[in-house]
Structure 1
Amino acid sequence: MSFKIFSLQLTGKIKPTATIEQQRARLRADYDAFLKTESSEELKLFLELEAWANSESYKNKKKEIEGLSFKGSKEEKEWKEFERLKKSGSIKKYFLVEGSSDLKRFEKERESDKLKSYYALLDYMKEGQFEKDKKEITSQVFKGSVEEKHLLEYKKLAKSAGIKAYLELHGLEVLKRHEALANSEKFKEYNELKNASDRSKEDKAAFKKIMGDSEIKAYFKLEKSKKLRLYKEISSSHDLKRYHELKALVESKEFREKEAFLKDKQKFEKSEAYKKQTEFKRLAADDTVKFVLKYEKSSLYKNYLDVKDSFDLKRYHELDALLQSEEYRKQKAWLEDKKRWEKTPEYARYQQYLKDKQIPDFVNYFKYKDSNDFDLFKNLEVVFEDDFSGRKLDSEKWSTATPVAGKLLGENYAMPGDLNIFTSGDNLKVEDKLVIQVKKEKAKGKVWQMPAGFVPTDFEYTSGLVSSAPKFMVEDGILEAKIKFDPVKQVVSSLYLTGEKATNRVNLLEMGARNHLGFTFMNGNGKVESQGIDISNLKKNTYIFSVEKAGSTFTWKINEVEILKQEKPEMNKQLFIEASSLVINPVSSAVNFEIEWVKCYRRK
């Protein structure tokens, strides 16, 4: 018995077969799920999400957001700037004025006709035009004026003898008769008689007579008068022309009005300048005007004007609008929120990552991603298997005779000393497992005896045998089978790898008179010898036995626990699978060798 087998069972390292099969089934299901997940779009998206969750950009974003604070932020600076401006004396005074009833009244009245008149008169009074107009008006007097000079000149001319003579004669009937006589036939006759060089008596009488004519007398009287002489002198003179000009001037309405104006002591009080002065004084005393003037000069209004278009007021309104905006309030609340990180899209996305990480398919995927658990599926491929699920042996996989028997005789034969003959399938039962039955029954068969050859013989027992030859041969790979370990000392039941020389075997399992894993071979003395490990103290049960061939190295396992590892260069060749039960001592009842399934893998 083997201490190794004892200790492995004692420590529970050889697990129950059901547990191994459950683990394998789970592993197979996990592997199928792994492959499905590995090629899924969901995993692709999750890996992108995981890469993001583990990225520096995510860590930096989280650090950035968790490091945010209202204190020291741009928003706090804007808030403090607004508070400073709001507390500013000039800003406060500005808002006292803005929209006030006094300002509204001031702005309304300042644009009124009354104020426009006042400001126009103020300019007139203060800019010197009033004084200029007043001086001009008061400086206009008759004495020394052009008008006085014209009037004096006119009066002087009117008093002159020539002008008087002219005025007395001009237009009189006597002057008209005088001028008419000078052009008459009578005056012509007078001149002819007067100027005749040789006057006759009749001429003299006529001359005397005409000299006594009253018209002629009157003519010469006027002709010789000083008045007519002055009249004639003045008639074509400049003085007469000047007299008429001045007479027309001084007698004109404009001259008389101007003369009256220049002589008027109250002319300033009647002037437009005086009216403007009076209106200005009236408006200056008006309550509305006084209010506007006082308000305009007030410190509050001056401050209002200074602040109205100032940068500070513009900035105040900008900040006021900013601080009242939904965007600013949200940002301020965001910066003051101690749980702001938990409200970010990044946090939600990271939580989704953590949630997705718990999805069973993903848990399964990452559980096996970097492990060797799937090596059985990844690195090995099944090249031969039979779970005996049918109702008869699969002849495409198995034969019921050894290769040598098939070639030599076409049926099984026995060796000298064998107690049973292997039938051609009669002792094989397939019912979701392979059962090789040893039966106590009479049967005929042949025994190979030298030099006679095949000798017919009667046997007391029959048994069965299956072989994968010539359909399947094992090179390097793993052979495993689920076998019920229930040894009967009188019968050697075994599943093994062998070649043309049937005495040399790699026993996956041999049980009966001896129970072992290892090699069986013919030694140099022609005797059968075993090499391996005794497993007689293995508890009766069903186990998964396996042997891996890697060249000349063979490794045995029971329920995936390594039991034995040995070298056998002479077995480094192609081998086929056989299973059989051989009676070595009389047995009173039937013996069953149960194999639930057989699989063979090779590395990819």
Structure 2
Amino acid sequence: MALFASSKYPKTAKYEADQKKLIADSARFTSYLGSDELKRVKELEILINSSDFKKKVDKLKNEKFKDTTEYRQLKKFQEQKKSSEFKKYFKFQASGMPERLKQIENSPKRDELSQLSELIRSSEFLSEKKQKGFKKTESYKKLKQFKTLSKDADIKLYNKQIKSAAYKNFLNIHDSERLKTYHGLEQEVTSEKFIEFKNWMEDKKKFHKSEEYSLIQEYNNLLKSPDYIWYVKTEKNNSFDLINKWELCFEDEFNSNQLDKNKWITGYYWGKALLNKTYVLENEKQFFNDNNISIDGSGASINTKNEETKGLVWDTQRGFMPKDFKYTSGIISTGQSHRQLYGKIEAKVKIQHSRPVSSAFWMVGESMAPQIDIFRFESKNAKTFKSGLQLLNGKGVELHSKDIKGANFESDYFVYSMEWSKNKIIWYINGVKVNEQNNNIPNQPMYLVFSSHITQEIDTLKSPASINVKWVKCYQKKK
């Protein structure tokens, strides 16, 4: 962090900018948690890292066509097609001979020849053939007709082919289960689906054309998304716990032209709330005057000055007593509007210090102690203030405080913070821890007070004193 040359604390402007950025980043982080982009990243992450997806990718990258069932089908088909039997079968079939032979077999002259053949083999014909005058008989004419038909080119072709090896091979394969298998394989391997699959499997770039590759590319591109890179880095830092554990329960930015009387009262709570009186304690040399509280639309100021006035002092023996005062100052508190037990309190404040004025930001409950001093300036200059607790013991007020140094607190606004829990209180300046108390932790609701006091006898204030408050905020831990 960039530091003042004379300060061990971050610059207030930078601290506030960092806090605003942290809040904005938290909103952005929360928004991104519900985004479609992150949802898609998570979906793809699960899918791509699944065993089924990895198997698919491995298969796409490494499986060859020869490793598939389809390749084995094609191989079987090709082996059958190249076999001698099937080659002869298809050659014989392609010649048209089977159809020619069938035509001859079913032709009238084939039927006539068959009838004549049966006739000349009959006993009656053989007996008649032995008798004289056979050549003048009708049976002789039948014999001559038989011989003529037997020499017919179609009949001779038919008789020759049905005795051939090619025809016998044809009959052996035709209508066989092997041929049915062959045609089934042929139909399969010549189908558009099969050819597309074969081309796909033999494509060396098939993985890069696959849906799986597209999903991996989509996932990798999403991982390079600026929003996702920011999300991963931010999630790893896990810095939002510092702000997400708190919820705002009170604030005032003093951005109007007058003090918000619904939030603040201008006097000690016990007088204003119960008696509608403004008073000071018997050891105080100043009196509280509302005119010493100014609001300019960008902050509130409590001013202490040389000014004569009259007012009431609370005397423990005699009660309220009138008194003349040489000094006036102011006080504002949330005694009637906001009290809290534990939480985080912070305010952006600039001090104009003039000893012996005690300028303080503190918290108190129903009695004057215990008190939590977030800051109390009462040293000789504004380079030191006290933070701590004021407790009651049998003899009176007991201080448990620490001197805080490290900057000239008049030089700039600083954010003074206090985190209060059941077991400890921690004080911060611009986010830097400056004090911690672990004992005698107050356990009652308290309200906020800004005030300036003079408790020493002096002739005059040598310079003005003021508490300038830009804003104040109170938080409770989220349930």
Normalising to structure 1: TM-score of the pair?
A: 0.66
The structure-2 alpha-carbon separation of the partners of 1:316 and 1:362, relative to structure 1 and needing over 3 Å to count, comes to: same
1:548 maps to 419
Counterpart secondary structure, 2:21: helix
Counterpart secondary structure, 2:373: strand
1:459 aligns with 2:312: no
Contact 2:351/2:467 (<8 A) preserved: no
Q: How big is the shift at 1:12?
A: 6.8
Contact 1:497/1:578 (<8 A) preserved: yes
Contact 1:555/1:564 (<8 A) preserved: yes
1:422 aligns with 2:288: yes
- Find 1:320's aligned residue among 163, 186, 189: 186
Aligned partners of 2:470 and 2:398: how far apart in 1? 25
Aligned partners of 2:249 and 2:438: how far apart in 1? 24
1:212 maps to none
1:576 aligns with 2:442: no
Identical aligned pairs, as a percentage?
28
1:309 maps to 175
Q: How big is the shift at 1:582?
A: 3.4
Contact 2:390/2:397 (<8 A) preserved: no
Q: Deviations over 1:453-480 (max 9, x none)?
A: 42321324x3322111133222122222
Counterpart secondary structure, 2:94: coil
Q: How big is the shift at 1:341?
A: 4.2
Contact 1:479/1:599 (<8 A) preserved: yes
Contact 1:492/1:582 (<8 A) preserved: yes
The structure-2 alpha-carbon separation of the partners of 1:501 and 1:61, relative to structure 1 and needing over 3 Å to count, comes to: same
The structure-2 alpha-carbon separation of the partners of 1:582 and 1:98, relative to structure 1 and needing over 3 Å to count, comes to: farther
Q: Deviations over 1:392-431 (max 9, x none)?
A: 2222222111113325763333345645322236513151
1:384 maps to 250
1:532 aligns with 2:398: no
1:599 aligns with 2:465: no
Larger Rg over CA atoms: 1
Q: How big is the shift at 1:73?
A: 1.5
1:134 aligns with 2:125: yes
Amino acid at match of 2:387: L
Deviates further, 396-405 or 291-300? 291-300
- Find 2:86's aligned residue among 85, 91, 110: 91
The structure-2 alpha-carbon separation of the partners of 1:358 and 1:510, relative to structure 1 and needing over 3 Å to count, comes to: farther
Q: How big is the shift at 1:93?
A: 1.5
Aligned partners of 2:300 and 2:225: how far apart in 1? 41
1:17 maps to 15
Amino acid at match of 2:321: F
1:192 maps to none
Q: How big is the shift at 1:77?
A: 0.9
Aligned partners of 1:95 and 1:427: how far apart in 2? 115
Aligned partners of 2:53 and 2:106: how far apart in 1? 65
Amino acid at match of 2:271: A
1:510 maps to 376
Aligned partners of 1:378 and 1:573: how far apart in 2? 25
Aligned partners of 2:352 and 2:439: how far apart in 1? 28
Q: Deviations over 1:573-604 (max 9, x none)?
A: 22211112335772424634223232232442
Contact 2:293/2:303 (<8 A) preserved: yes
Gaps of 5+ in 2: none
The structure-2 alpha-carbon separation of the partners of 1:32 and 1:139, relative to structure 1 and needing over 3 Å to count, comes to: closer
Amino acid at match of 2:23: A
Aligned partners of 1:476 and 1:419: how far apart in 2? 33
2:153 maps to 287
The structure-2 alpha-carbon separation of the partners of 1:488 and 1:332, relative to structure 1 and needing over 3 Å to count, comes to: farther
Aligned partners of 2:352 and 2:196: how far apart in 1? 79
1:205 maps to none
Contact 1:389/1:433 (<8 A) preserved: yes
- Find 1:480's aligned residue among 346, 360, 365: 346
Contact 1:517/1:533 (<8 A) preserved: yes
Amino acid at match of 1:323: V
Q: How big is the shift at 1:282?
A: 1.0
Matches within 5 A, 1:175-186: none
2:266 maps to 400
Q: Deviations over 1:49-92 (max 9, x none)?
A: 65444444444444455453322221121121122112111111
Q: How big is the shift at 1:506?
A: 1.2
Counterpart secondary structure, 2:20: helix
1:336 aligns with 2:336: no
The structure-2 alpha-carbon separation of the partners of 1:303 and 1:401, relative to structure 1 and needing over 3 Å to count, comes to: same
Amino acid at match of 1:326: E
Q: Deviations over 1:204-234 (max 9, x none)?
A: xxxxxxxxxxxxxxxxxxxxxxxxxxxxxxx
1:233 maps to none
Contact 1:485/1:543 (<8 A) preserved: no
Deviates further, 591-600 or 40-49? 40-49
Deviates further, 101-110 or 6-15? 6-15
Contact 1:14/1:561 (<8 A) preserved: no
Deviates further, 393-402 or 417-426? 417-426
Aligned partners of 1:52 and 1:371: how far apart in 2? 27
Q: How many pairs were matched up? A: 467
Q: How big is the shift at 1:8?
A: 13
1:76 maps to 71
Deviates further, 580-589 or 506-515? 580-589
The structure-2 alpha-carbon separation of the partners of 1:75 and 1:484, relative to structure 1 and needing over 3 Å to count, comes to: farther
- Find 1:563's aligned residue among 434, 441, 453: 434
- Find 2:31's aligned residue among 33, 39, 44: 33
The structure-2 alpha-carbon separation of the partners of 1:51 and 1:435, relative to structure 1 and needing over 3 Å to count, comes to: farther
Higher-strand-fraction structure: 2
Contact 1:15/1:559 (<8 A) preserved: no
Amino acid at match of 2:440: P
Counterpart secondary structure, 1:470: coil
2:389 maps to 519
Contact 1:494/1:507 (<8 A) preserved: yes
Q: Deviations over 1:113-149 (max 9, x none)?
A: 2333234434444xx32xx133331466xxxxxxxxx
The structure-2 alpha-carbon separation of the partners of 1:414 and 1:349, relative to structure 1 and needing over 3 Å to count, comes to: same
The structure-2 alpha-carbon separation of the partners of 1:450 and 1:397, relative to structure 1 and needing over 3 Å to count, comes to: closer
Contact 1:466/1:578 (<8 A) preserved: yes
Contact 1:390/1:431 (<8 A) preserved: yes
The structure-2 alpha-carbon separation of the partners of 1:531 and 1:371, relative to structure 1 and needing over 3 Å to count, comes to: same
Deviates further, 340-349 or 19-28? 340-349
- Find 2:463's aligned residue among 576, 582, 588: 588
Aligned partners of 2:268 and 2:117: how far apart in 1? 142
Aligned partners of 1:361 and 1:284: how far apart in 2? 97
RMSD: 3.9
